[in-house]
Amino acid sequence: MGDWDELEEKLQDRFQRKDEHEGMPGNERAKHFLHSLLPVTVFMGLQLWAAVVAGQLYVVYCALQYGGREIGSLSDFLGRLQTDLHETGFLLMVLLVESVANFLFFLVWYGRRRKDLGHAGSGTRGYARGRLAFGLILLVVSGQVAFHYVAEAAGRLFPMELARMVYSQKQLGLSMDEPVLLSLLAVFFLGPVAEELVFRGLTFGFARRGLSFAGANVVQALLFAGAHMNMVQASYAFFMGLVFGLVMERSKNILLPIMLHVGFNALGGVTPLLVAAVPDSPAGTYLACCSSMMLVYIATNLILDAIPEPSQEGEGAGAGL
């Protein structure tokens, strides 16, 4: 029990601060909780708006393309259009419109509310940068392996969801066989940045005003998982969200979860190569799963230890690069 008590005391010291929600009436807490749902609601609304706008643009494009051709009746044109709407071109247009819209909108929104939420700048002045870099890399690599096994277990429980996820990735040009450059830009940069601004920036920040750290962290992680709208992706996205939220709580620096998210997405394509090195046996899988989870714990602590204490940061902490 001594080790457990020591760990609990360490965590309490690390996150000890007077929470704004202490002594807050229940209706005020409820208001902050409902406020935390606003960013993800807007996020999903922008996705729907992107699909509508991209659909209209694509209809115009197809009409111009077909304008000089003998396409027969209107029903023939609509039939051809329906087929085109399932092709990579249209899906890529939706992805790009959605990614750019979310990126710009939430960059402005978070920029206006960052100081009100008590978040620091996006620099790393005062950090133990060597330890931070090593922790980030270790967390991305070990997390990929650990979350691969989580996704694999979820895929066995929800095989249709797994098939739908793989099909969607191929349709968007995200397969390793035929990657599409614009899709990679949206998935590896625009998407992760926008999602971190939404979930670890605004959602977590608003929820933290009325909830404890644990409550706010679970709320943003659940919303982050649900936003993927796929049980397989949601299975590991939830755990990713918890880890990213922990880093955000300690650092108040949105740059760190952004770097982690970009790293996870960028390394996703080579995860099969990492897992292929594991012996194909129950013992090998068990050892790899347990080892990767242990490394995730170690890497997370390296990152947390690299972040300066609030008393050491001062007002200008996080402003430098």
Quickly list DSSP for 130-199.
Answer: HHHHHHHHHHHHHHHHHHHHHHHHHHHH-HHHHHHHHHHHHHTT-SSSS--HHHHHIIIIIHHHHHHIII
Whole-number Å distance between alpha carbons of 172 and 164 = 12
Whole-number Å distance between alpha carbons of 147 and 128 = 27
Residue holding tokens 């000089």? Answer: 68
Q: What is the pLDDT of residue 268?
A: 76
Q: What is the pLDDT of residue 75?
A: 65
Q: How far is CA 119 from the centre of its chain?
A: 18
Taking the domains of the chain in order of start, what are their residue ranges? 26-313
Rounded to two decimals, the pTM is 0.83
Q: Residue 199: how many CA atoms within 13 Å on its side-chain side?
A: 32
Q: What is the pLDDT of residue 305?
A: 95
pLDDT along the chain (321 residues), means of 10: 54 54 74 92 91 77 63 61 64 82 95 92 88 96 91 89 78 55 80 96 95 94 93 93 96 96 85 75 87 95 91 43 33
Q: What is the pLDDT of residue 94?
A: 79
Which one-letter amino acid corresponds to residue 26?
G
Whole-number Å distance between alpha carbons of 116 and 178 = 44
Query: What is the sign of the dihedral through the CA atoms of 270, 271, 272 and 274?
Result: positive
> What are the Cα distances from residue 216, in Å, to 34, 78, 176, 207, 305?
12, 47, 36, 5, 22
C-beta of residue 217 within 8 angstroms of C-beta of residue 147: no
What the block records as the tokens of 314 is 């001062």
Q: What is the pLDDT of residue 67?
A: 57
Question: Which among 222, 212, 184, 216 has a CA at the least distance from the CA of 201?
Answer: 216
DSSP letter string, 209-275: HHS-HHHHHHHHHHHHHHTT--HHHHHHHHHHHHHHHHHHHHH--THHHHHHHHHHHHHGGGHHHHH
What the block records as the tokens of 106 is 């939430």
C-beta of residue 118 within 8 angstroms of C-beta of residue 250: no
Whole-number Å distance between alpha carbons of 170 and 168 = 5
Helix 129-157 crosses helix 159-171 at what angle (to 10 degrees)?
120
What's the pLDDT tens digit per position in 81-98? 666 666 666 777 778 888
> What are the Cα distances from residue 197, in Å, to 56, 66, 175, 215?
28, 41, 26, 19
C-beta of residue 254 within 8 angstroms of C-beta of residue 119: yes
| CA dihedral angle for residue 29, residue 32, residue 37, residue 43, rounded to 10 degrees | -170
What the block records as the tokens of 260 is 């982690």
Whole-number Å distance between alpha carbons of 303 and 136 = 7
C-beta of residue 88 within 8 angstroms of C-beta of residue 171: yes
Whole-number Å distance between alpha carbons of 235 and 250 = 24
What the block records as the tokens of 41 is 């609601």
What's the pLDDT tens digit per position in 256-296? 999 999 999 888 777 777 777 777 788 888 898 999 999 99
